Amino acid sequence: AQKVTQAQTEISVVEKEDVTLDCVYETRDTTYYLFWYKQPPSGELVFLIRRNSFDEQNEISGRYSWNFQKSTSSFNFTITASQVVDSAVYFCALTNENQGAQKLVFGQGTRLTINP
Amino acid sequence: SQTIHQWPATLVQPVGSPLSLECTVEGTSNPNLYWYRQAAGRGLQLLFYSVGIGQISSEVPQNLSASRPQDRQFILSSKKLLLSDSGFYLCAWSVLLAGGEQFFGPGTRLTVL
């Protein structure tokens, strides 16, 4: 069975600090896909990144970066120089290779609060 | 570009009343469609998914049902709501691609009293 664990329930930092959100996953599949989503107070989930199991290159997009390490089954997300607008609940998710519907397994989410 | 709509945005219903939530997608054809529920504990639970018109798969036995009468329309229903049906309902779509990302609608907040 697949499982995603986000051990950090809530994180609170001061603006401009760097913050890392942890994600640990479990799967028996050799091919799988990992995702991060952001849920601002409005409620809509916003897609941030998708990574497949064969691509362990770290990804950087502006102030956001992702560290994928298969050896530790982790896919961590770092926000550099955090801003108040980064305040949201962040979800890590996992799915296996499937030509049909992709059933996402979500972690419980990490509520990130950036204080001015 | 693709957009996904959900309505209503909020809904307050008495226990035992029926439910119909609608989701429509624009700008794509033959999408996979999904219904999720997010309870107060923040986790998202997949309720139903559909790979085509009339094709519905249920993930969790429950008081709800889903239908897909048209290619880009997905409906979540109940004949009699329970208190435990309260939550935030999210519709999502994805393309037919292995590991393709899902794109979510704005959600419907349902309160059953």
Among B51, B90, B102, the residue with its CB nearest the CB of A100 is B51
- The CB density around residue A97, as the number of other CB atoms within 10 Å, is 14
Residue-wise pLDDT for A42-101, tens only, equals: 899 999 999 989 888 888 899 999 999 999 999 999 999 999 999 999 999 998 866 567
User: Chain A partners of B90 at a C-beta cutoff of 8 Å?
Assistant: 43-45
The Cα–Cα gap between B34 and B18 comes to: 21
The SS3 assignment for B64 reads coil
3-state helix vs strand vs coil in chain A, percent to 5:
5, 55, 40
Verify whether the Cβ–Cβ distance B107 to A98 is below 8 Å: no
pLDDT of residue A46: 95
Residues of B within an 8 Å Cβ radius of A: 32, 34, 41-44, 46, 49-51, 57, 59, 88, 90, 92, 94, 96, 98-107, 109
**Residue A66 at interface with chain B, using a CB cutoff of 8 Å:** no
Beta strand pairing call for A19-21 and A74-79: antiparallel
Among A43, A96, A107, the residue with its CB nearest the CB of B107 is A43
Q: Which residue has the tokens 């309505």?
A: B7
Identify the closest residue of chain B to A51 by CA–CA distance: B99
pLDDT of residue A100: 62
User: Chain B partners of A50 at a C-beta cutoff of 8 Å?
Assistant: 99-101
pLDDT at B85 over 80: yes
Predicted confidence band of residue B60 (pLDDT cuts 50, 70, 90): confident
Question: Closest Cα of chain A to B1: distance in Å?
Answer: 15
User: Chain A partners of B50 at a C-beta cutoff of 8 Å?
Assistant: 101
The Cα–Cα gap between B98 and A54 comes to: 13
- The token pair that represents B60 in the structure block: 């969790």
Mean pLDDT of B60-71: 90
Verify whether the Cβ–Cβ distance A109 to B43 is below 8 Å: yes
Q: Which of A61, A113, A105, A60 is nearest to A89 (CA)?
A: A113
Instruction: Output b/e per residue, A79-95; b: 16+ Cβ within 10 A.
Output: beebeeebbbbbbbbbb
Q: Could you tell me how many helices (H) and strands (E) chain B has, helices first?
A: 0, 11
DSSP 8-state class, residue B98: T
Predicted confidence band of residue B88 (pLDDT cuts 50, 70, 90): very high
Picking from B38, B74, B108 by the largest number of A CB atoms within 10 A of its own CB, the best residue to mutate is: B38
pLDDT at B98 over 70: no
- The token pair that represents A22 in the structure block: 């942890």
* Contact between residue B93 and residue B4 where contact means Cβ atoms under 8 Å apart: yes
Alpha-carbon distances, residue B61 vs A60, A97, B58 (angstroms): 40, 25, 7
